[in-house]
Structure 1
Amino acid sequence: MIINKKKVYRLCKEMGILKPQRQIKVKHPRRLARNRIVTGPNQLWETDIKYGYIAGEGRFFYVLSIIDVFDRSIIDYHAGLTCEARHAVYTLKSALWKRRLDKNATKPVIRTDNGPQFTSNLFAQTCKDLGVEHELIPYKTPNKNAHIESFHSILEEECLARYEFNSFREAYEVIHKFMDYYNNVRIHSKIGYLTPSGYYDAFQRNFVKALPICA
């Protein structure tokens, strides 16, 4: 017996034996990164995830860092054996608190790649609730996230590659010390051969002129 599929669908619908249709979740609209001229701190932040390996435990760990494009400071970071959307949300909230922007009407733009932590509904809704503009770089364009990519290269060359970690605790302690060293000791040629924290403080006190950055 040959029967048209449309008739089968109509008959099944009349008998109420159709399987419930999958509900499509409404996704937050995505904003693609655009070229910006950054003239001060807390205008544009970039974030990304770096992988490391623990030889003694045979597993990977993750470092999620948030950098201020203007002063190159690592405002906050997450280091853990997992890195999910909730960790990205917590780190963003903590970074806003550290810069005393959590109750400020003007928030920075946060730029990310298209990793699942950043394209999740949780991260998108949190940015919306906080009043933070979230923009994503186009696929296969890491140059749009150049500042955080550069920092993670430094993290790899000057920290992670120099150790063979036996435990996550050891890795965490090394990363914590390096973050402090990077922000407060290591000078940066792009910000007048000052440390990131030194440049940020000097700018806040009007001791240095802004060095506009195209990002």
Structure 2
Amino acid sequence: MAASRKERVTASPSAQEAAILAAAADEFTEVGVRRANMDEVAKAAGVSRSTLYRRFPSKDNLLVAVANDTFERGLARLEGAVRGLGPADAVVEAFATGAGMVTSDPLMRRIVFEDVEIRNITSGAMSTLFIEMVTARVASTLRDAGAIMPDEALFEAVELHVRLVISLLEVPVTDPQKRSADHVRHIAATYLAPMIH
């Protein structure tokens, strides 16, 4: 027990936060929001209960932080996947990579498909501000990939892509074949990529 206390004292605030977010992600993935236990999160993160609540006053605050962290890691992965590609190929790769993450990452799958409570709590993140933030980031990535269309047109096209992705996530297609990697790439190449030049 003394060793745990010493670790808590010496851990930097950023290391503590990273440990809390990782522990919370595991807890939300494993048991869902309703059954998630803040004491279990604190224990798994190696922090005191008071440290956890000082950083995240409620389970909802913690869930939003975990969702934001997951979103940031996802965007970084998308940016890495499209590095070196032209704009049309970048659209296809980003769409396919994003679809793959949602279906293969256990936390993303729970957030998007399985846990209605998580979606209800994080739905505020799907606000206009969220859409604008994602649109700006994706548009910047496509500009770096070589998109030459005017800024306004690029932002409008990307916003349509983002809104389409949100719609598909909120109401997924029921046909499993339409969720296959090949089908996702076909849809992106046929309908989405031509919007970007």
TM bucket (normalised to shorter chain) is under 0.3
The structure in which a higher percent of residues are helix is 2
Q: Which has the larger radius of gyration?
A: 1
Task: Calculate the TM-score normalised by the size of structure 2.
Answer: 0.25
Q: Which has the higher strand share?
A: 1
Superposition TM-score, scaled by structure 1 size: 0.23
